[in-house]
Amino acid sequence: MLKERAQASPLRDVFPQAGQLRVELNFSDPRAQTPSSQVHTLYPAAPAFFRFPCPCADCDGDFDLTAAVQSLLTGSSARQRTLSGQAVCDGARFRGPADTVCSMQLTFRLASLPAAQ
């Protein structure tokens, strides 16, 4: 995933209308301790890469928000746009006697500010 992120085009090239993208990630897991929330602020020079690893250290899954970001940033122009959604990790956890499916749940909120003109 690090290699893909490094090769991603800048946000300004992929979505020239976006000045800033804020990604808020809130996690919950009914079977384990809930990890801390995360907030990522992407500016025009940041890579346009929208996959975020599952916060469980023993999980190989990730959350791909690419479709949600595209939906938000290719819509009609407005001062500030937001989009919220949910996802479930489909990765596998490797601790314990047998591999188990991860059940980490994600609630996300995306907020876009337009580029300065």
- Residue 8 CA to residue 73 CA, distance in Å, equals 17
The tens digit of pLDDT for each residue in 39-71 reads: 999 999 999 999 999 998 889 999 999 999 999
Quick check: 89 and 63 in contact, CB under 8 A? yes
- Other CB atoms within a 10 A radius of the CB of residue 83 amount to 16
**Which residues form the domain of 60?**
2-114
Overall number of domains in the chain: 1
The tens digit of pLDDT for each residue in 101-116 reads: 888 999 999 999 877 6
| For residues 15-37, average pLDDT | 89
